[in-house]
Amino acid sequence: MFSFININDNSRIPKYQQIVNVIIQNISNGNLVIDQRIPSINKFSEEFYLSRDTVEKAYNILKERNIISSVRGKGYYITRTKLISKVNVLFLINKLSSYKLKVYNSFIENIGANSHTDLHIYHCDETVFLNLISKNKAAYDYFIIMPHFKTDEFVHVSYTDKVIKALKEIPKEKLVILDNFKEGVEGGSIEIFQDFENDIYTALNEAFPKMKKYKNLTLFYPTITIYPYPKRILHGFRKFCFEHSIEFEYLEEVYEDIIIRKGDLFITIQESDLVSLVKRTREENFELGKDVGIISYNDTPLKELLGITVVSTDFNIMGATAAKMILEQKKGRFKVPFNFIDRKSL
């Protein structure tokens, strides 16, 4: 086996990573096969004049990726050849919603067959997120992360100090930040983001000519929820209203017996509020788009089917762009389009 291995003392690639790469390469070209025994850590270190810690670190990475396994008293063996030559991706999302899955599915469709992606959900929980990063930081080629967290008071925060520290431990060329970036964090990674404040502000300005026929404007924005929403959405909404001198109110949720009057215009964030509001509108025999207006935040196929007007990020572009930048090995920052989609509910 040693005849297949070359460790370059002059390379900028760390020697432990060279060991990982060369073993994967030799599996890919058929020099190493499943169940084949490989040298012990001591033998490997002696052959190439490497420290035992260097070889052990490489073997641990290979074990975490299930490429090799150790048998007590017998040594190390090749355990996997499938997907070895593929790009391995860890995809972390904060919640299991139709929007997040749209991003994920778009990514999978565009990344191609030469990849393997593991999806994990951390439920806006800092501890769960940090454990996933700590456990897997040596096992993947790319880390795709949607950073949305909640405090103990269920308030949204984009990042925490511990999260920033954990992200800095990931090589920046392996990091893909989706949906929500932070100014001032060192660049060099892939960032594909929404501008929550200016997105809703711009989209509502586009919708404004049709909004003027309504008398009252209400935003349903939950401030305390299991999966909190960025406050920048609320900031952008207020900015729009102040600029146009629009009186408004915002409520936590659509209450069961909420009073609806002709001339009301509602903006909903949560799916459950949209469903409740449409139900109440029908109970009052109001016609959507004529007597009462509704604008919903973020599009879904069901909203399109029901004719619900939306302001929405293009989640398909978000996922497709992440895949394209990985495949082309590009770095940088990309602002995802955010659209006003006019339908019959306005």
Alpha carbon distance 246, 238 (integer Å): 9
Distance of CA 152 to the CA centre of its chain: 22
Residue intervals of the chain classified under CATH 1.10.10.10 are: 2-83
What are residue 17's phi and psi, to 5 degrees? -70, -35
Residue intervals of the chain classified under CATH 3.40.50.2300 are: 84-194+315-336, 197-313
Alpha carbon distance 28, 255 (integer Å): 60
Distance of CA 231 to the CA centre of its chain: 18
Residue-level pLDDT at 239 = 97
Intra-chain end-to-end CA distance of the chain, in Å: 70
Helix (H) or strand (E) holding 265: strand 264-268
Contact by Cβ (8 Å): 253, 222:
yes
Closest CA to 69 of 82, 60, 57: 60
Closest CA to 210 of 311, 83, 114: 311
**320: helix, coil or strand?**
helix
Instruction: Look up the CATH number of domain 197-313.
Output: 3.40.50.2300
211-228 burial, b at 16+ Cβ within 10 Å, e below that, comes to beebebbbbbbbeebebb
Residues 6+ apart with CB under 8 A from 329: none
Q: Pseudo-torsion of CA 9, 10, 13, 14, nearest 10°?
A: 40
Helix (H) or strand (E) holding 65: none
Alpha carbon distance 204, 197 (integer Å): 11
* Residue length of the chain: 346
Q: What is the DSSP letter of 116?
A: E
Residue-level pLDDT at 9 = 87
Instruction: Look up the CATH number of domain 2-83.
Output: 1.10.10.10
Q: What is the DSSP string of 273-311?
A: HHHHHHHHHHHTTPPBTTTBEEEEES--HHHHHHT-EEE
| Per-residue model confidence as pLDDT tens for the chain (346 residues) | 777 888 888 888 889 988 988 888 888 778 888 889 999 999 999 999 999 999 999 999 888 878 899 888 889 998 865 555 568 899 999 998 888 999 999 999 999 877 888 899 999 999 999 999 988 877 788 999 999 998 888 788 888 999 999 998 888 889 999 988 776 555 678 999 999 999 999 999 999 999 999 999 999 999 888 888 999 999 999 999 999 999 999 899 998 889 999 999 999 999 999 999 999 999 999 999 999 999 999 999 889 999 999 999 999 999 999 999 999 989 999 999 999 999 999 9
CATH superfamily for domain 84-194+315-336: Response regulator (3.40.50.2300)
Query: Half-sphere exposure (CA, 13 Å, Cβ side) for 201?
Result: 16
Contact by Cβ (8 Å): 141, 170:
no
Where helices occur in the chain by DSSP H, the ranges are 15-28, 41-47, 52-64, 98-111, 126-136, 161-168, 196-211, 231-243, 271-283, 301-306, 315-327
